[in-house]
């Protein structure tokens, strides 16, 4: 079946000291064996995080990447560079990238392809704004974001993605989608993926993100189509993040 994935998204937060703290804490606990854990840290911490977590089963990931393989793109970071620095996963299309850095569906697709070309696992983020939800456009928006990427990939490529549903109104707001609200969108995403094949839909991991915390993770993760979490704020506190990882087991 689908192995739950708990991914921490530090965003532009943290420090080398926090990386070390996580390394020590994770070395001291036993995580549930049936749960995959990944920490998406800022670029400059990738190598240190790989070292600090090296004795644990926690993998390291990045939060974005360039859509180009190399060249005169000052300030950009390529998939191959991330791979060389130890990243195994990379977030693509996080709502903060879409809104603050003008990444549209075409830009998101190009980054997914760049990640796949270097054997990174893209975690494709999708989600609706509050306005879109109130206009009853949630499914149209979310499934549109899904199809913009899945429709442009081949069968083997599609199977290598992870999807994270993050309602924009729940990100960093303390306002979590209810388990029922989240489950309804996850089920719609899985139905949509079934158009590409029952195997793909059945195997695809769908993470929930948006104010997931130690005290609400268990009921979200208990939903049949929620296969893990993308955790922002609570992934910066080691005890909270550990508690969420434990509750996925
Ligand atoms: P949050 O962030 O858990 O702080 O709401 C989630 C995310 O943006 O990935």
Q: What is the residue range of 220's domain? A: 5-247
Q: Which residues are catalytic?
A: 94, 166
Cβ–ligand 1 contact at 232 (below 6 Å): yes
Question: What pLDDT is attached to residue 1?
Answer: 81
Query: What CATH number corresponds to the domain at position 171?
Result: 3.20.20.70
Mean pLDDT of the chain: 97
- What's the rounded mean pLDDT across residues 84-102? 98
What does the pLDDT look like over 70-91, one tens digit per residue?
999 999 999 999 999 999 999 9
SS (H, E, C) the chain: CCCCEEEEECCCCCCHHHHHHHHHHHHHCCCCCCCEEEEECCHHHHHHHHHHCCCCCCEEEECCCCCCCCCCCCCCCCHHHHHHCCEEEEEECCHHHHHHCCCCHHHHHHHHHHHHHCCCEEEEEECCCHHHHHCCCHHHHHHHHHHHHHCCCCHHHHCCCEEEECCHHHCCCCCCCCHHHHHHHHHHHHHHHHCCCHHHHHHCCEEEECCCCCCCHHHHHCCCCCCEEEECHHHHCHHHHHHHHHHCC
Question: What pLDDT is attached to residue 89?
Answer: 98
What does the pLDDT look like over 223-236, one tens digit per residue?
999 999 999 999 99
Structurally, the chain folds into a number of domains equal to: 1
What does the pLDDT look like over 165-215, one tens digit per residue?
999 999 999 899 999 999 999 999 999 999 999 999 999 999 999 999 999
**71 Cα: distance to centroid of ligand 1 (angstroms):** 32
Cβ–ligand 1 contact at 8 (below 6 Å): no
Question: What pLDDT is attached to residue 174?
Answer: 87
């Amino acid at each position: 079946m689908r192995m739950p994935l708990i991914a921490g998204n530090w965003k532009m937060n943290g420090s080398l000291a926090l990386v070390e703290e996580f390394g020590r804490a994770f070395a001291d606990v036993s995580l549930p064996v049936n749960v995959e854990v990944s920490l998406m840290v800022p670029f400059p911490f990738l190598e240190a995080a790989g070292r600090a977590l090296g004795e644990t089963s926690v993998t390291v990931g990045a939060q974005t990447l360039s859509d180009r393989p190399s060249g005169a793109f000052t300030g950009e970071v390529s998939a191959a560079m991330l791979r060389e620095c130890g990243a195994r996963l990379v977030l693509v299309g996080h709502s903060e990238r879409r809104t603050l850095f003008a990444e549209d569906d075409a830009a998101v697709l190009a980054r997914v392809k760049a990640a796949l070309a270097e054997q990174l696992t893209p975690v494709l983020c999708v989600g609706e704004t509050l306005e879109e939800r109130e206009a009853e456009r949630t499914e149209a928006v979310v499934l549109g974001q899904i199809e913009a990427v899945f429709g442009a990939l081949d069968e083997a490529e599609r199977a290598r993605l992870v999807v994270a549903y993050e309602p924009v109104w729940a990100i960093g707001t303390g306002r979590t989608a209810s388990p029922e609200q989240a489950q309804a969108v996850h089920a719609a995403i899985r139905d949509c993926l079934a158009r590409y094949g029952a195997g793909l839909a059945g195997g695809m991991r769908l993470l929930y993100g948006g104010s997931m915390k130690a005290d609400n993770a268990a009921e979200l993760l208990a939903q049949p189509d929620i296969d893990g979490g993308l955790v922002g704020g609570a992934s910066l506190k080691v005890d909270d993040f550990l508690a969420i990882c434990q509750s996925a087991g």
